[in-house]
Structure 1
């Protein structure tokens, strides 16, 4: 009996500071690491969300842009931070999906982080040069098969979502297209417009101006539902590609071992912000739809995304550090 009481007292002594921390949380500003330079779409999403999230928590978020290594620098900084809720990371499909699937990274995308919640996602769109004689996916697949070796596709770089999504499409269809990697999405789109490449899978926000101008043609979008901004364009699933729901997503994680009460408070306030109609209007500029989840749902989503891209990279022999 005495030994049991001693063990209970020891456990309570360990738990007490963490409980006190959770009950008084937050009592100072929160550092919010964003793994890209200031000024881009991901940065805009972070600032729009944290401005409102800070008001819900009664504290200020300080956005800390840490670009470098495709998100590796930011991920290491977040993973090494104290697990007290005062350092968070805006992870996204690269840091917790495609990059760990295609390279060796100095962090474990699952074990080194605590999932807090999904922010939102935008689909990728199968887009082709408007001069190609294809009005839908079936016609495009037929065109690729009739022109072996003559169809090239661009991407934002090796191992990017734009690269892996097209490789998934090639795997599903058995068609051959030569991959032309670029340093970023803008030059890749420019060469589709100019006819140097014929197709790609850009994020919807980057593609929309060119789709609306008629210089690129949308054949389908990823995701489980049609995009509100392209209501007449079918999903890949509608076009016969079951489970083809690759998305450019953004979410919040903290270091491993965050106290459950802090995770719950962060998630509940984040979800309340994401459900506000004015936030949806702001995020629409990046074609991002709010996608609130529980921490458990978000954790499951990240694990399945990593597993999906790891399996594809293995099947397509995409290993970028060899």
Structure 2
């Protein structure tokens, strides 16, 4: 009898072991949490990925928007979810920023997640209202130094990638500009076009119609290589500010404690999805640069981003909420 009980217990242990769970993973729908409202870049990329992942995995990957508190509500929901691979999250640069912007966020970006893979980098473009008498980054710096504190730059809010890109630009050049935060990128862009603010860093897809129509003047893109959508616009480094790189990023993560076999399976699935030419084109058309990684590389990348943003936010004296 004891042999029978022992064998049964061993069978149960094997059945519920991480290896056994991952062998038939996924066996039910997967929830992909987006920490922001529908319609933004993080949400759009999540929906592009979820459709292809559903096809490849044979189970539905359902996007769930958990917006609020600058992304903290959604990130916390992922951090506290059961680590079984059935709740995943879309990570973004906001994950690395918020730990330095908020006194309490309900999660640790370095300890509470199991990174799966980077997906893409999201460059910004530096634009000015055409009424500003500058046509290059060098001329902008010279104008700002000659008119300290007279230039206003907009962003979609304190700590947003546009805001931090401008703060980095200020730090690297020694110029003085006034930050005007808005409740979203749309209102900020409207005021930039109207001339109520003079310049702004913004994602390429949101900026392109205004640049192409001549309503705004593009001076530079903020990554190492020129954008295929703006081939005639130099990088900030090409424009004279060597080493300047500022971009957002997107990736996929799971709660800490998720079995490594599941992390590896999802890493392979994400890579396969993004490698599909149709998916690649959709992401590139959004102004993104494909950047895949191993789980270990993504983990190390997040750690560097947390440290870099902490330094930038402290140096810029951005208030903690």
TM-score range, shorter chain: over 0.9
- The answer to whether residue 300 in structure 2 is matched with residue 300 in structure 1 is yes
- How big is the shift at 1:184? 0.7
In the aligned structure 1, how far is the partner of 2:109 from the partner of 2:147?
Answer: 40
- How big is the shift at 1:14? 8.6
Which residue of the partner structure matches residue 31 of structure 1? 31
Which residue of the partner structure matches residue 5 of structure 1? none
Report which stretch shifted further, 273-282 or 37-46.
37-46
Which residue of the partner structure matches residue 237 of structure 2? 237
Confirm or deny: 8 A CA contact 1:273 1:279 kept in the other structure. Answer: yes
- How big is the shift at 1:232? 1.3
Which residue of the partner structure matches residue 103 of structure 1? 102
In the aligned structure 2, how far is the partner of 1:56 from the partner of 1:121?
Answer: 24
Q: Deviations over 1:243-278 (max 9, x none)?
A: 422212111110001111111110011101111111
Which residue of the partner structure matches residue 7 of structure 1? none
Q: Deviations over 1:175-234 (max 9, x none)?
A: 011111111111111111111111111111111111111111111111121111111111
Which residue of the partner structure matches residue 53 of structure 2? 53
Q: The residue matched to 1:201 in structure 2 has which SS?
A: strand
When residues 141 and 15 of structure 1 are mapped into structure 2, their CA distance, relative to the original with a 3 A threshold, is farther
In the aligned structure 1, how far is the partner of 2:76 from the partner of 2:99?
Answer: 13
TM-score, length basis structure 2? 0.92
Report which stretch shifted further, 283-292 or 312-321.
283-292
- Structure 2 gaps of 5+ residues are 1-9
Confirm or deny: 8 A CA contact 1:222 1:246 kept in the other structure. Answer: yes
In the aligned structure 1, how far is the partner of 2:126 from the partner of 2:198?
Answer: 11
Report which stretch shifted further, 222-231 or 237-246.
237-246
- How big is the shift at 1:31? 0.7
- How big is the shift at 1:320? 2.4
- Summarize the alignment of residues 1-322 of structure 1 with structure 2, pairs less than 5 Å apart: 17-94=17-94, 96-104=95-103, 105-321=105-321
Aligned residues: 311
In the aligned structure 1, how far is the partner of 2:224 from the partner of 2:100?
Answer: 23
- How big is the shift at 1:137? 0.5
Confirm or deny: 8 A CA contact 2:117 2:251 kept in the other structure. Answer: yes
When residues 14 and 287 of structure 1 are mapped into structure 2, their CA distance, relative to the original with a 3 A threshold, is same
When residues 25 and 215 of structure 1 are mapped into structure 2, their CA distance, relative to the original with a 3 A threshold, is same
Confirm or deny: 8 A CA contact 2:137 2:240 kept in the other structure. Answer: no
In the aligned structure 1, how far is the partner of 2:44 from the partner of 2:310?
Answer: 29
Report which stretch shifted further, 260-269 or 42-51.
42-51
Confirm or deny: 8 A CA contact 1:127 1:200 kept in the other structure. Answer: yes
Confirm or deny: 8 A CA contact 2:83 2:254 kept in the other structure. Answer: yes
Q: The residue matched to 1:89 in structure 2 has which SS?
A: strand
In the aligned structure 1, how far is the partner of 2:73 from the partner of 2:14?
Answer: 32
- Structure 1 gaps of 5+ residues are 1-9
Considering only aligned residues, what root-mean-square deviation do their CA atoms show, in Å?
Answer: 1.9
In the aligned structure 2, how far is the partner of 1:310 from the partner of 1:40?
Answer: 25
Confirm or deny: 8 A CA contact 2:154 2:188 kept in the other structure. Answer: yes
Q: The residue matched to 1:83 in structure 2 has which SS?
A: coil
In the aligned structure 2, how far is the partner of 1:147 from the partner of 1:37?
Answer: 38
Q: The residue matched to 2:17 in structure 1 has which SS?
A: helix
Query: Which portions of structure 1, spanning 4 or more consecutive aligned residues, are displaced by more than 4 angstroms?
Result: 12-16
In the aligned structure 2, how far is the partner of 1:80 from the partner of 1:149?
Answer: 44
- How big is the shift at 1:293? 1.2
When residues 60 and 130 of structure 1 are mapped into structure 2, their CA distance, relative to the original with a 3 A threshold, is same
In the aligned structure 2, how far is the partner of 1:136 from the partner of 1:14?
Answer: 65
